[in-house]
């Protein structure tokens, strides 16, 4: 969908273990930072889109997490929309808010994604992830794993979902299929984790700051073959917020170094039958067309590396390289800082962390910093066009929802 909205301010907490901080306090910290960055008072907000995915299961906060967080800041009266859409919750909230601003209904709106996944009872976050599939489908998770195992020509692990998210079993089977079809290797996946660890070491808000070598990634504890611990995105707590304004308001405010939302496409997974169909490709093609650009025009990308192989597969279905060319792309160094197309300069989900509903907004925060020349220590030179890709849940053998956003630096 073509958009015409501008980003006036951004804010984000550190990602990590905030077990002693409330969910609404995390949201409040990010929102206050975004308002300060925009130079705005909270009274200027006309509406808010508040994303949270697992609060009902992990924290017990149901139905009104957005209103609760905003009340804590003294914000009320305005329309508040709570958004839950698995790991794509934050980006879905952003897409909906952009659409409303682009349509002329509001001039100043807030988007915030917040999440708390650390809990004394570790079964709670795992239970939240287990519900991000069709739980009423006969056979449930087992049926999905059987379909993936058939496609990968691999058996299902005997300890499926034990001491790990069931999504790691899903990623494992998807990865084995890619390895057999295209020749990608465990070493290629380790290259992704090592690259993102370097990027994350330069991000003061990242959950993990230690630089890892390919050898260290390969030697780490195996979660499920071929995935070692650094190849799997961690759970985390955190929040990220964005202030969006209309073109008219941007002119009125005299925004310096403005970043425009050129396109933001939300697509839903479906029961595709043709090999090669993919909700990520669909969303990317919609976004490219709406923005009037192609993947060759991008300066950098933040994409959904829920596992290291997921990044390599995303290179391919987002059009950053040919089908089967993801391993070659990571091997070339093109996606590292200093390369032709840096990917996940924030450290990605693997190192920045993955507080589910906060992830999509955090991707926008990183890209805005890059486009405005504010990404100290990890700045991509001459960045002008950037893409965010955020996916969540599972329908059949694909993501349930995917959002692809194109941002452009103006002036």
**Residue 253: its pLDDT value, please?**
95
Which residues in the chain land under pLDDT 50? Answer: none
**Residue 6: its pLDDT value, please?**
98
CA–CA separation, 64 and 72 (whole Å) = 13
Q: Whose structure tokens read 């807030």? A: 110
The catalytic residue among 87, 98, 112, 264 is 87
Q: What is the CATH number of domain 2-120+235-409?
A: 3.40.47.10
**Residue 114: its pLDDT value, please?**
98
**Residue 149: its pLDDT value, please?**
86
Ramachandran region, residue 394 (left: φ > 0; alpha: ψ -120 to 50; beta: rest): beta
Nearest to 392 by CA among 269, 271, 264, 285: 269
pTM, two decimal places? 0.97
CA–CA separation, 242 and 30 (whole Å) = 9
**Residue 272: its pLDDT value, please?**
81
Phi first, then psi, for residue 123 (nearest 5°) are -70, -20
**Residue 368: its pLDDT value, please?**
98
**Residue 325: its pLDDT value, please?**
98
Q: Whose structure tokens read 């969910």? A: 23
Is 87 marked active-site? Answer: yes
**Residue 1: its pLDDT value, please?**
81
Question: Under a CB-based contact definition with an 8 Å cutoff, are residues 1 and 262 in contact?
Answer: no
- pLDDT per position as a tens digit, 195-240: 999 999 999 999 999 999 999 999 999 999 999 999 999 999 999 9
Per-domain residue ranges of the chain: 2-120+235-409
**Residue 304: its pLDDT value, please?**
98
């Amino acid at each position: 969908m073509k958009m015409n909205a501008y980003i006036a301010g951004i804010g984000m907490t550190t990602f990590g273990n905030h077990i002693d901080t409330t969910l609404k306090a995390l949201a409040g910290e990010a929102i206050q930072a975004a308002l300060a960055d925009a130079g705005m008072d909270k009274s200027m907000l006309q509406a808010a889109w508040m994303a949270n995915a697992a609060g009902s299961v992990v924290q017990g906060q149901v139905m009104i997490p957005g209103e609760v967080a905003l009340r804590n800041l003294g914000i009320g009266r305005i329309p508040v929309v709570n958004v839950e859409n698995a790991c794509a919750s934050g980006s879905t909230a952003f897409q909906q808010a952009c659409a409303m601003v682009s349509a002329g209904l509001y001039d100043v709106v807030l988007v915030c994604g917040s999440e708390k996944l650390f809990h004394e009872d570790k079964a709670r976050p795992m239970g939240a992830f287990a519900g991000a599939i069709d739980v009423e489908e006969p056979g449930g998770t087992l049926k999905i794993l059987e379909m993936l195992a058939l496609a990968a020509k691999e058996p299902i692990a005997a300890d499926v979902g034990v001491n790990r998210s069931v999504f790691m079993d899903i990623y494992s089977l998807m990865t084995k299929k890619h390895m057999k079809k295209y020749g990608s290797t465990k070493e290629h996946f380790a290259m992704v984790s090592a690259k993102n660890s370097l990027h994350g070491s330069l991000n003061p808000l990242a959950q993990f700051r230690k630089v890892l070598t390919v050898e260290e990634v390969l030697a780490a504890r195996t979660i499920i073959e071929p995935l070692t611990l650094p190849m799997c995105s961690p759970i985390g707590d955190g929040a990220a917020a964005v202030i969006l304004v209309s073109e008219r308001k941007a002119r009125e405010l005299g925004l310096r170094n403005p970043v425009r939302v050129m396109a933001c496409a939300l697509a839903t997974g479906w029961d595709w039958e043709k090999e090669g169909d993919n909700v990520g490709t669909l969303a990317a093609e919609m976004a490219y067309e709406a923005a009037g650009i192609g993947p060759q025009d991008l300066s950098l990308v933040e994409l959904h590396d829920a596992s290291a192989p997921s990044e390599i597969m995303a290179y391919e279905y987002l059009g950053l390289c040919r089908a089967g060319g993801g391993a070659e792309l990571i091997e070339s160094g093109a996606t590292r800082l200093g390369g032709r197309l840096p990917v996940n300069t924030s450290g990605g989900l693997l190192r920045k962390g993955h507080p589910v509903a906060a992830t999509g907004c955090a991707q926008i925060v990183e890209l805005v910093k890059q486009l405005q020349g504010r990404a100290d220590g990890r700045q991509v030179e001459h960045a002008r066009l950037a893409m965010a890709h955020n996916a969540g849940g599972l329908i059949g053998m694909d993501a349930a929802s995917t959002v692809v956003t194109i941002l452009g630096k103006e002036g």
